[in-house]
Amino acid sequence: MLNQSIPAAHLLVQNQQGFTAMKAIRLLYAGMIAVTFCFSIEAFAAVSVSVHPARAPLTLTQPQQFTATIAGATNHAVTWAVDGITGGNATVGTISSSGLYHPPAHRGTHKITAKSVAAPGSTGSASVWVTDYPGMFTYHADRFRTGVNLQELALSPTTVNSSTFAKLFSRVVDGQIYAQPLYVANLTIAGAKHNVVYVATEHSSVYAFDADGHRATPFWKKSFINTAAGITTIAKPSNALISPEISISSTPVIDPASSTIYVSVSTREKGAIVHRLHALSLTTGAEKFGGPIAIQGSVAGTYPALAKNGRVPFVPAQHLQRPALLLLNGNVYIAYGSNGDALPYNGWLFVYSAAGGVLHQATVFCASPNAGASAIWQSGDGPAADNSGNIYVATGNGPFDLNSGGPDAGNTVLKLSLQTGALKVLDYFTPFDQASLASNDLDLGAGGPVIPATQTGAAAPSLVLVGGKDGKLYSINRNNMGKFNSAANHDVQTLALGNPEPTNGLFATPAVWNSRLYIGEINEPLGLFTFSSGLLSTAPAAQTSTVFRYPGTSPMVSNNGTSNGVVWTLDLHAYVGGTPGGAVNPAGPAVLHAYDATNLHELYNSTQAGTRDRAGKALKFTSPTVANGRVYVGTANELDVYGFLP
């Protein structure tokens, strides 16, 4: 059989040798049939199948519609399978004849395949990661403030790069997002399961968005502004550290057991500043437990600027609620520092409870009742808590006399316990040079406490880590914190991270995962330090190629339960607001970075694809949230969501 047409010149020669013209035409026609037949075989062999989406991170109750595209065949029918099982089963998940996949009741990684009916040898596939991660309910992932999601299956060093990972969508909001976005998986709203991301803004609003982008409008939005009643945000000038307004600066906290999100809101009401705690329904945004409740109180003290009749009152106008909220044993902990370093102020820690179904104050603690100052601000980090229910906070500049029996705790790490309705100081650590720190504005409390895992083989296995503006990280024995000694620190280790402030210093929350610590002081690369027998390496084992300018960076780690992890962090140097020197900072986009957690090799950043992945304008001290194959970044006026390309 001929497999190509015969050239006309060759036919003419054959014709001259005795073929008739009709025979030549018949021969040419036969050749064309052969060519057509040959091409049909080639087309049949080139049938291809592609499955969309190619990568699908899912929660336990989240179905996924897959589609198959056939090229090279007119028959577009396919047979669907999960892990090689036609139609799947309860163990791997089921998939219908139309490609609708329902995940199993437990976490795992699966392969979806579509096999061409016309060409059974041709298949396409997609990867599915099913997570049982319930959500990120508090700042930096947990009450230890470790910054680690140990149940992230989809995002790994092998899957995160600029060809597969990108900005998927944005949600415009009415103000700046200083609070870290929070995430709840498999929440029932209006009779259906959804993954929900919660966003709080400085324009006094809370939003509940579909975390997967299935709908553009929020499930609900709650605003605490009421202009008719004279309730507004607190206006700030362009060179203020937070500008142009203040209302919700701290990260809320979620109680999944009662389906409640607790939010601290500051407003100006008929000229006066008021702070309130709101308890909102996760599903509707409605107020719960008789809320809101005004945050107020007083303690025994003699601070001359404020004390009356032996009591020091909390003055709302003098205080800013910056640290993230802590939920512990049903109690909400809310810390306060100064409003722009303007005396008089104190460091405060309020405790509220909804026990009995009504919000009420459980107790209040002041870190400086006799001398003032000693703010608790921690660059947005919240109070931390250990497994025994002890609470840890770090204070800023202020007088100190704990060592002589006094109550004032400037530049101190406090270990507190809620006992018989009051917060008691169980122990503390204060650097030997605390007076110098205070006089040079080198707050210890510029960074917040982080509690690493128990250290195997260590003389002091239970630690709390705190670093501040002096560019040092203090590793403190939680069981014997060392208190104060004017000659030397009685901590486990004092680790110099870089040159002292203003060149270096810590205004960020580190992340700690197993034996690794990731820390991002200003004007330094993000560094990886390692624990050995409870001691940190004196130099970084690895560091990023990017240097993070002021205010440094607060990393998060995602991990699938093995050694395979990704470090996520934000370059925020182009933040909106004033500089420490009083100028207006040139504003620009936040930049999301992803690094291999083992060596800090960069996997991705949001500038690699030009403007495709550009985030909104940066804000100081913010952290990304990582959940279910997506990364959520709060910016000046939008929530940006990153994940796998379709």
What pLDDT digit, counting tens, does each position of 169-184 carry? 999 999 999 999 999 9
CA angle 574, 577, 581 (to 5 degrees): 95
In this prediction, residue 16 carries a pLDDT of 36
Please, what is the average pLDDT of the chain?
Answer: 92
Same domain? For 446 and 510 the reply is: yes
* pLDDT tops 70 at residue 341: yes
In this prediction, residue 569 carries a pLDDT of 98
Question: With the C-alpha atoms ordered 97, 101, 103, 109, is the resulting torsion angle positive or negative?
Answer: positive
Q: How far apart are CA 263 and CA 251, in angstroms?
A: 8
In this prediction, residue 563 carries a pLDDT of 73
Entry field: residues in the chain? 646
Helix spans in 359-494 (H): 434-439
In this prediction, residue 541 carries a pLDDT of 97
Nearest to 65 by CA among 148, 143, 126, 138: 126
In this prediction, residue 30 carries a pLDDT of 41
Model confidence, pTM: 0.92
If one counts the domains in the chain, the total is 3
Same domain? For 55 and 183 the reply is: no
How does 84-106 read in b/e, with b if 16+ C-beta sit within 10 Å? eeeebeeebbbbeeebebbbbee
Same domain? For 610 and 533 the reply is: yes
In this prediction, residue 57 carries a pLDDT of 97
Q: Is residue 3 part of a domain?
A: no
In this prediction, residue 45 carries a pLDDT of 53
In this prediction, residue 564 carries a pLDDT of 84
Question: With the C-alpha atoms ordered 422, 333, 446, 453, is the resulting torsion angle positive or negative?
Answer: positive
Q: Is 16 helix (H, G, I), strand (E, B) or coil?
A: helix
Q: How far apart are CA 551 and CA 521, in angstroms?
A: 8
Same domain? For 267 and 321 the reply is: yes
Q: How far apart are CA 634 and CA 619, in angstroms?
A: 8
Q: Which domain holds residue 82?
A: 48-131
Mean pLDDT, rounded, for 31-45 = 40
Q: How far apart are CA 521 and CA 501, in angstroms?
A: 10
Q: Is residue 229 part of a domain?
A: yes
Residue that has been written with the tokens 């002890």 in this structure: 390
CB 530 within 8 A of CB 469: no
CB 367 within 8 A of CB 374: yes
Q: Is 549 helix (H, G, I), strand (E, B) or coil?
A: coil
Mean pLDDT, rounded, for 360-372 = 98
> Residue 31 region, left (φ>0) first, then alpha (ψ -120 to 50), else beta?
alpha
CB 501 within 8 A of CB 442: yes
Indicate the angle between helix axes 8-16 and 21-45, nearest 10 degrees: 140
Q: Residue 61: give its domain's CATH number.
A: 2.60.40.60
The amino acid at 270: K
Q: What is the largest CA-CA distance in the chain?
A: 130
Sheet holding 148-149, edge to edge: 148-149, 556-559, 565-571, 591-596, 602-605
Q: How many C-beta atoms lie closer than 10 Å to residue 228's C-beta?
A: 6
Mean pLDDT, rounded, for 211-235 = 97
Mean pLDDT, rounded, for 115-135 = 96
Q: How many C-beta atoms lie closer than 10 Å to residue 577's C-beta?
A: 20
Same domain? For 255 and 368 the reply is: yes
* Distance in angstroms between the alpha carbons of the first and the last residue of the chain: 46
Q: Residue 165: give its domain's CATH number.
A: 2.140.10.10
* pLDDT tops 90 at residue 597: yes
Q: Is residue 1 part of a domain?
A: no
Q: How far apart are CA 492 and CA 535, in angstroms?
A: 8
Q: Is residue 245 part of a domain?
A: yes
Same domain? For 54 and 170 the reply is: no
Q: Is-cis flag, bond preceding 510, omega within 30?
A: no
How does 449-476 read in b/e, with b if 16+ C-beta sit within 10 Å? bbbbbebeebebbbbbbbbbbbbbbbbb
In this prediction, residue 23 carries a pLDDT of 38
The proportion of the chain whose per-residue pLDDT surpasses 70, expressed as a percent, equals 93
Higher pLDDT, 492 or 503: 492
Q: Is residue 262 part of a domain?
A: yes
In this prediction, residue 19 carries a pLDDT of 34
Task: Express each pLDDT in 421-439 by its tens digit.
Answer: 999 999 999 999 999 999 9
Same domain? For 318 and 301 the reply is: yes
Q: Predicted confidence band at 585 (pLDDT cuts at 50, 70, 90)?
A: very high
In this prediction, residue 503 carries a pLDDT of 76
Q: Predicted confidence band at 155 (pLDDT cuts at 50, 70, 90)?
A: very high
Task: Express each pLDDT in 272-302 by its tens digit.
Answer: 999 999 999 999 999 999 999 999 999 999 9
* pLDDT tops 90 at residue 508: yes
Residue that has been written with the tokens 């599915």 in this structure: 128
Higher pLDDT, 17 or 92: 92
Q: How far apart are CA 551 and CA 567, in angstroms?
A: 18
Same domain? For 95 and 207 the reply is: no
3-state secondary structure 138-163: CHHHCCCCCCEECCCCCCCCCCCCCC
Name the domain boundary from 80, 110, 131. Answer: 131
Same domain? For 164 and 264 the reply is: yes
